[in-house]
Amino acid sequence: MMRNTISSWFAGAVVALLLAVPVYASLAGEPFALTFVSRVLVFALAAISLNLILGFGGMVSFGHALYLGLGAYVVGILAQHGVSNGWIQLGVTLAVCAVVGLVTGAISLRTSGIAFIMITLAFAQMFYYLFVSLKQYGGDDGLSISARSEFGLFSLGSPLALYYAALVLVLLALAFTHRLVDARFGMVLRGCRINERRMNAMGFATLRYKLTAYVLASMLCGVAGLLYANLTGFASPAYLAWTLSGELIVMVVLGGMATVFGPLVGAITLLVTEEILKALTDHWMAILGPLIVLVVLTARRGLYGYLLDLDAWRERRRQPAVARGQKAAS
């Protein structure tokens, strides 16, 4: 991110507001604000993970919520068996999501286009019906989580601890994405999105790069699922549904695909708008849909992408002025 640009100032303002939310919730006596923004941050983390493969890799996964659900069920199942140690739950979540991501990714990534979309959707639905059939873990009704994750110095049973954990993880995920996409790995991944055949011809093992990104995205989304289980105190097959995967795609597109900060902007915009419209009318979906279409049509790169485009336009206008000034000085 460049300094002294509209996009960087906007990103800084968003982070400052997120840091101020606990203070506002405490002073105003609004605990719901803390819970709601925690939910926004959890979905932002999931959207950031999806952006890694969708925005930068061009892999349209309609089954990404599978990993959100897996993370939630790891917490729920381990807690039911008396394991509430958060580090163990985190380790198992990362391992399970890595293995499932590796197996499903190795199969899915041998296809492209609509075939890839359908295979990822099929895997998600397969796990959805698997958890529906597990009656010992709630089946279709879901699984209540009695004990929150304990990390020694803090517990995710505390709304404040959960909020800051989610915020720190989102900021770390943004920093990681920023470093990753500017590194050799990210450049190859973006090259695969533009022209995979050319990248293969240049000698890059594109399948290996795409599979690595797919597994990383799966693990990161699993961490979001762990947080979500602690936030809701529940694990449900609905967390794996294709509709939730669709919402994550909307967040990425709305905020700006292939932009580092876009998924966070998209999650905030979608969930805040949804909450406002719910308070105004029972027919909020009939209003939200056209609004999303309007944004996508008017800002092709999403809301944050629009700010980046505005920065680029200002830079193009500035360069001739600088050139004229240097010419006059000489």
Residue type, 287: I
In the numeric block, the tokens 């599978």 are attached to 66
d(CA 109, CA 41): 29
d(CA 106, CA 100): 10
Summarize pLDDT for 218-249 with one digit per residue, the tens.
Answer: 999 999 999 999 999 999 999 999 999 999 99
| Averaged pLDDT of the chain | 93
DSSP of 99-158? HHHHHHHHHHTTS-THHHHHHHHHHHHHHHHHHHH-GGGTGGG-EE--S--B-SS-BTTS
Predicted confidence at residue 298, as pLDDT, reads 83
Tally of helices (H runs) and strands (E runs) in the chain: 12, 2
Summarize pLDDT for 88-147 with one digit per residue, the tens.
Answer: 999 999 999 999 999 999 999 999 889 999 999 999 999 999 999 999 999 999 999 989
Task: Return phi, psi of residue 235, to 5°.
Answer: -130, 125
Looking at the chain, the whole-number percentage of residues with pLDDT higher than 70 is 96
The burial class, CB within 10 Å (0-12 / 13-18 / 19+), for 224 is buried
Looking at the chain, the whole-number percentage of residues with pLDDT higher than 90 is 84
CB neighbourhood size of 24 (10 A): 13
The two tokens of residue 98 are 């890595």
pLDDT value at 2 more than 50: no
Q: Of 194, 303, 211, nearest to 250 (Cα)?
A: 303
Domain ranges of the chain: 14-242
Summarize pLDDT for 50-95 with one digit per residue, the tens.
Answer: 999 999 999 999 999 999 999 999 999 999 999 999 999 999 999 9
CB neighbourhood size of 129 (10 A): 12
Summarize pLDDT for 8-51 with one digit per residue, the tens.
Answer: 999 999 999 999 999 999 999 999 999 999 999 999 999 999 99
pLDDT-derived band of residue 1, with 50, 70 and 90 as boundaries? very low
Q: Residue 5 carries which DSSP code?
A: S
